């Protein structure tokens, strides 16, 4: 079909008959440099690139998906979107059997094989395989927390953490254990729980023969070999290998005791201290001597007792 403005074929077709009109109307009065954007200072060597750019200003999306109500500003974007409906995955990894619908996803995946991390943090020595991972990491330095809970005043640096937090309000537990009737709000919690059924310890220390159920446990253990203590107290010069230990230590400065006994008015800075204290009320004595029938409320009490029994100064229980 011919264009009503110039009698040329241009960008006119029966499916998207407004594209050519859009370009002609925009370019009226711009004869000196027809490929220069009216809204910003960008210029283009090709009319097609100019038109694509123009839609970033106008918001026009002339390419409609025939399967759903989504529309796109470029045919290339529509083509990629259509693969959601068709299931087509033309980009195949030559190192494993995975395939992808987008080239960008394929490239990201390849870095899991090559270990390439081209995105470097400007504040520290960390590097990442994806720009999105770097963006999230940067919030550690900037303190930015763009994801706000609409039910309390908490905010988070990652959307996934907000989603997990929201479940503390809703009580939703979408991750169901296939071995028992327990369910969890986070997939990581389910994975950790499943190992209690399987007994699997897939994370092995390369410095000794110890193995762990979770990667986080292995990371903490490795610090015993390296001596690394990345969690620094901002009120004194003490540092810790675990964030949880730093949190407990900070309470020695603040005096905070968040763990309240339900039997009396005592409170504790550590949950483990509360647990031991509650045994005064319940009479529970879980630590049993293997040489006699005595039992104790605390492991330390059992160790003292065992030394008296065996005469061994170094008792390992």
Tell me the whole-structure pTM to 2 decimals.
0.45
Is residue 175, in this structure, part of any structural domain at all?
A: no
pLDDT given for residue 6 in this prediction: 52
Task: Collect all residues with Cβ–Cβ distance below 8 Å to 122 and sequence separation of at least 6.
Answer: none
Is residue 13, in this structure, part of any structural domain at all?
A: yes
Q: Is residue 80 domain-shared with residue 2, that is, in the same domain? A: yes
Averaged over successive runs of 10 residues, the pLDDT of the chain (317 residues) comes to 50 48 50 70 85 87 92 90 92 91 90 92 92 93 94 93 93 94 92 90 91 90 94 93 92 94 92 92 91 88 85 57
Q: What are 11's two structure tokens?
A: 């960008």
Question: What is the per-residue DSSP string for 192-237?
Answer: HHHHHHH----EE-SSSS-EESSHHHHHHHHHHHH----EE-SSSS
pLDDT given for residue 11 in this prediction: 46
pLDDT given for residue 32 in this prediction: 41
Q: Is residue 74 domain-shared with residue 132, that is, in the same domain? A: no
pLDDT given for residue 18 in this prediction: 53
pLDDT given for residue 30 in this prediction: 46
Q: Is residue 49 domain-shared with residue 93, that is, in the same domain? A: no
CATH number for the domain that contains residue 26: 3.30.160.60
- Give the long-range contacts of residues 5-12, CB within 8 A, separation 24 or more: 11/47, 11/48, 11/51
Range of the domain at 75: 1-88
Q: Is residue 84 domain-shared with residue 7, that is, in the same domain? A: yes
Q: Is residue 16 domain-shared with residue 60, that is, in the same domain? A: yes
Is residue 195, in this structure, part of any structural domain at all?
A: no
Domain boundary among 71, 88, 105: 88
Is residue 305, in this structure, part of any structural domain at all?
A: no
Is residue 292, in this structure, part of any structural domain at all?
A: no
Is residue 278, in this structure, part of any structural domain at all?
A: no
Is residue 283, in this structure, part of any structural domain at all?
A: no
Domain boundary among 73, 88, 103: 88
Q: Is residue 62 domain-shared with residue 20, that is, in the same domain? A: yes
Backbone φ and ψ of 313, nearest 5°: -70, -30
Q: Is residue 75 domain-shared with residue 121, that is, in the same domain? A: no
Is residue 149, in this structure, part of any structural domain at all?
A: no
Q: Is residue 2 domain-shared with residue 83, that is, in the same domain? A: yes
Q: Is residue 76 domain-shared with residue 111, that is, in the same domain? A: no
Q: Is residue 112 domain-shared with residue 65, that is, in the same domain? A: no
Number of Cβ within a 10 Å radius of residue 65 = 14
Task: Round to whole Å and give the CA distance between 268 and 278.
Answer: 11
Q: Is residue 132 domain-shared with residue 84, that is, in the same domain? A: no
| Domain count for the chain | 2
């Amino acid at each position: 079909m011919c264009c009503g403005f110039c009698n040329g074929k241009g960008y006119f077709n029966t499916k998207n008959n407004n594209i050519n009109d859009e370009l002609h109307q925009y370019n009226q009065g711009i004869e000196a440099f027809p490929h220069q954007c009216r809204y910003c200072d960008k210029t283009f060597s090709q009319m097609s690139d100019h038109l694509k750019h123009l839609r970033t200003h106008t918001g026009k999306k002339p390419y409609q998906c025939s399967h759903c109500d989504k529309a796109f500003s470029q045919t290339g974007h529509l083509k990629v979107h259509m693969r959601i409906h068709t299931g087509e995955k033309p980009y195949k990894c030559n190192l494993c059997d995975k395939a992808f619908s987008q080239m960008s996803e394929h490239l990201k995946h390849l870095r899991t094989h090559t270990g390439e991390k081209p995105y470097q943090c400007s504040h520290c020595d960390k590097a990442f395989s994806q720009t999105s991972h770097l963006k999230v990491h940067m919030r550690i330095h900037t303190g930015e927390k763009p994801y706000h809970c609409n039910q309390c005043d908490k905010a988070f640096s990652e959307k996934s953490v907000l989603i997990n937090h929201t479940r503390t309000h809703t009580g939703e537990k979408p991750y169901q254990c296939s071995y028992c009737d327990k369910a969890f709000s986070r997939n990581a919690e389910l994975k950790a729980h499943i190992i209690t059924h399987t007994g699997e310890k897939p994370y092995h220390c390369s410095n000794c023969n110890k193995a762990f159920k979770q990667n986080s446990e292995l990371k903490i253990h490795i610090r015993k070999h390296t001596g690394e203590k990345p969690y620094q107290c901002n009120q004194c010069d003490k540092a810790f290998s675990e964030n949880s230990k730093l949190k407990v230590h900070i309470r020695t400065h603040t005096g905070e005791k968040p763990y309240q006994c339900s039997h009396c008015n005592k409170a504790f800075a550590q949950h483990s201290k509360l647990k031991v204290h509650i045994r005064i009320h319940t009479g529970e004595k879980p630590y049993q001597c293997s040489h006699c029938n005595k039992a104790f409320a605390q492991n330390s009490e059992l160790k003292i007792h065992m030394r008296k029994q065996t005469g061994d100064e170094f008792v390992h229980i």
